[in-house]
C-alpha cells in the first residue's frame, strides 16, 4: 500500500532531518511512529501526504509514485487519505456538522448523503446530536473526536494521525487511541505519530522509531494481556 524507500529530507543547508529512511506499510496495519520532538515524525507525515517532497528516495501510495504522479491522480490519492492534527484545525466559525461536511462537499455528495454521513459519524465517535455545536463549545477530547470524524467523512483507505493525543490528558488520549484502533479493526490503515510510549506497549502494534535522523526500530510489541480474576476452586 505504502512504500517509503531510501528517503532523505533536508530543510535548508542543515543536517538532514531524515536520512535514508525505508519502510513498507501493508493495508490494514496500525503503526505507531515514535521519536523525540524534532526527530522527524511530522516530516514523515508531510511527506506521506504529499505536502513536501523528498530530496532523495521514492514514496509510493497505492502504486502511485509521488515523484511522477500525474496531476489528475493527486486528487484521487488525497481522497484516500485522512489527516488528524494535534491542534485540531477545526474552523471556529463553522459548526461541528459544517466542519465534518467539508470533504463531502468537495466530493460533491448530495445534501441528503452529507446529512446521513454526519449522523453516522457522530454516532461512531459518541457525539450524537452535536451537529450545531461550535468548536469553542467542545472539550479537547471532543474536538479531537470531531477531527477524526472529519478525516473519516470520505471513507479514506488510510489515516495519518500526527500526535493526536499531544494536547489531551491521559483519559482523553486513551479514548482517542481506542477510537483509532476501532477504525483500524473496521479496515482503515492507521499511522499514528506519538511520543507516548505507554500506548505502544499497551496495544501491541507495530512501532517505527526515529532517532538521530535514522529509523532505528521497526518492531511489533506484544499486547499486554488483560488482567482476569483467578478462578476459584
pLDDT in tens, 65-112: 999 999 889 888 989 999 999 999 999 999 999 999 999 998 899 999
Sheet (strand 64-65) strand order: 18-25, 2-9, 56-61, 64-65
Per-residue pLDDT tens for 3-56?
A: 999 999 999 878 899 999 999 999 999 999 999 999 999 999 999 999 999 999
Question: Does domain 1-39+50-64+75-80+156-226 correspond to CATH entry 3.40.50.10710?
Answer: no
Q: Using an 8 Å Cβ cutoff, are 21 and 214 in contact? A: yes
Instruction: Name the grid cell of 94.
Output: 463553522
What number is the average pLDDT over the span 126-138? 97
Confidence band for 225, pLDDT divided at 50, 70 and 90: low
Residue whose C-alpha cell is 487511541: 177
CA distance 55 to 155: 31
Q: Which residues pair with 21 in a beta bridge?
A: 7
How many angstroms separate the CA atoms of 126 and 120, rounded? 10
At 223 the pLDDT is 56
- Residue linked to cell 451537529: 131
pLDDT value for 141: 95
Q: What is the pTM of this model?
A: 0.90
Give the mean model confidence (pLDDT) for residues 168-175.
92
Helices marked H in 49-164 — which ranges?
71-79, 96-106, 111-124, 140-152
In angstroms, how far is the first alpha carbon of the chain from the final one?
51
What CA–CA distance (Å, rounded) separates 128 from 12? 47
Give CA separation, 167 vs 30, 98, 103, 178, 180, in Å: 21, 23, 25, 16, 16
Please report which helix (H) or strand (E) contains residue 162, including its range. strand 158-162
pLDDT of residue 71: 87
pLDDT band at 224 (very low <50, low <70, confident <90, very high): low
Nearest Cα to Cα of residue 179 among 99, 117, 122 = 122
166: Cβ contacts below 8 Å, ≥ 6 apart: 86, 194, 195
Name the band, by pLDDT with cuts 50, 70 and 90, for residue 231. Answer: very low
Q: Any idea where the domains of the chain sit in the sequence?
A: 1-39+50-64+75-80+156-226, 90-155
Amino acid at each position: 500500500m505504502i512504500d517509503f524507500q531510501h528517503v532523505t529530507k533536508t530543510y535548508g543547508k542543515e543536517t538532514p532531518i531524515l536520512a535514508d529512511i525505508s519502510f513498507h506499510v501493508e493495508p490494514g496495519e496500525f503503526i505507531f511512529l515514535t521519536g523525540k520532538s524534532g526527530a522527524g515524525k511530522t516530516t514523515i507525515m508531510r511527506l506521506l501526504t504529499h505536502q513536501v517532497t523528498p530530496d532523495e528516495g521514492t514514496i509510493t501510495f497505492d502504486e502511485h509514485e509521488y515523484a511522477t504522479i500525474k496531476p489528475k491522480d493527486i486528487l484521487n490519492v488525497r481522497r484516500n487519505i485522512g489527516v488528524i492534527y494535534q491542534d485540531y484545525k477545526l474552523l471556529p466559525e463553522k459548526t461541528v456538522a459544517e466542519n465534518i461536511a467539508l470533504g463531502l462537499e468537495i466530493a460533491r455528495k448530495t445534501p441528503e448523503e452529507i446529512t446521513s454521513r454526519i449522523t453516522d459519524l457522530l454516532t461512531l465517535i459518541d457525539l450524537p446530536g452535536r451537529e450545531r455545536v461550535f468548536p469553542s463549545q467542545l472539550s479537547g477530547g471532543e474536538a479531537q473526536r470531531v477531527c477524526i470524524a472529519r478525516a473519516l467523512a470520505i471513507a479514506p483507505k488510510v489515516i495519518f494521525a500526527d500526535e493526536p493525543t499531544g494536547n489531551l490528558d491521559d483519559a482523553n488520549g486513551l479514548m482517542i487511541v481506542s477510537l483509532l484502533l476501532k477504525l483500524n479493526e473496521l479496515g482503515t490503515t492507521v499511522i499514528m505519530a506519538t511520543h507516548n510510549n505507554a500506548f505502544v506497549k499497551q496495544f501491541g502494534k507495530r512501532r517505527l522509531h526515529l532517532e538521530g535522523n535514522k529509523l532505528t526500530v521497526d518492531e511489533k510489541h506484544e499486547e499486554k494481556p488483560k488482567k482476569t480474576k483467578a478462578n476459584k476452586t
